[in-house]
Copies of this chain bind each other. A is one copy, B any other.
Amino acid sequence: MKIVLIGSGNVATQLGLALYRKNFNIVQIYSRTKVSASLLADRLHTSYVTDIKKITTEADLLIFSVKDSAIESILKKMPLGQGLYVHTAGSVPMDIFTGYVQRYGVFYPLQTFSKNKALSFEQIPILLESYNPNDEQLLYSVAEKLSKKVNFISSVSRKHIHLSAVFACNFTNHMYTLAADILEKQGIDWSLLLPLIEETLEKVKIIPPKDAQTGPAIRYDKKVMQSHLQLLDEKIQRDIYKKISLSIHQHATSNSKHD
């Protein structure tokens, strides 16, 4: 099976490396950025093109790992073949391929990727979608070599999953950033918080997160919350503090109503 990778960013890099480790045949990388295209091609021991017209039409599987808005603009310009065309985006419906190719689908790994942080794919959920039922087996056979957690999911479900991932990953990471900012201003290394954030995660492996909630907001301890707000210099930090605290409080209230 000949695979083409379209893109050379975080997802393309880690997915490419995972495929390479499992001996898949990656025949070409396309990226408009020469530096990152050549870097990834080196790591995957393959060749690259930066000219969209030179994307091969002789591939069995073409994987688009580019930013959402680039998928369609690349489709419009590239030469199209008979292979299976898939993208890796959480929020882009499968039917973005409609009218361009006959065989298409989605190959969405539910994970946060960085170019230079290696990770194992084994536990990463890979969420698949295929326009033609006939192509499900091909997609599945690739995914199951990488991961133990492979599922077929509709575009609508995937969009909700992607939204939940924004909260669980992107917004969580920003909570870490805001916490680090506060400590940095006090000259304290943010690694002081690592045992706390590890335990925060350990707890929700065994208790649903709404039952694991602790802190001043769930007690609705106005005195503590007020004193915290006074320590925050920027309005946006105070807005975030207030909105999340209110939401925690509302969840606590609606939980106890149901008890």
Chain A residues with CB under 8 Å of chain B are 10, 67-69, 91, 110-114, 117, 119, 123-125, 149, 157, 159-180, 182-183, 185-186, 188, 190, 192-210, 212-219, 221, 223-224, 227-228, 231-232, 236-237, 239-241, 243-244, 246-248, 250-251
Contacts and interface: CB of A to CB of B under 8 A. Distances in A.
Contacts of A214: 10, 112-114, 169-170, 173
Given A112-B199, A173-B212, A177-B248, 19 more contacts: A111-B195, A117-B202, A160-B182, A161-B188, A161-B192, A162-B228, A164-B178, A165-B193, A167-B175, A168-B193, A168-B197, A169-B197, A171-B244, A172-B172, A172-B176, A174-B244, A175-B175, A180-B208, A201-B201
A209 to B, nearest CB: 4
Contacts of A221: 67-69
Contacts of A190: 164, 208-209
Tally of this chain's copies: 2
Nearest to A229: B163
A232 to B, nearest CB: 8
Given A67-B219, A173-B212, A201-B197, A163 B182 contact: yes
Contact of A69 (B67, B174, B223, B251): B223
A176 B209 contact: yes
B112 A203 contact: yes
Contacts of A212: 112, 114, 173, 176
A176 B203 CA distance: 11
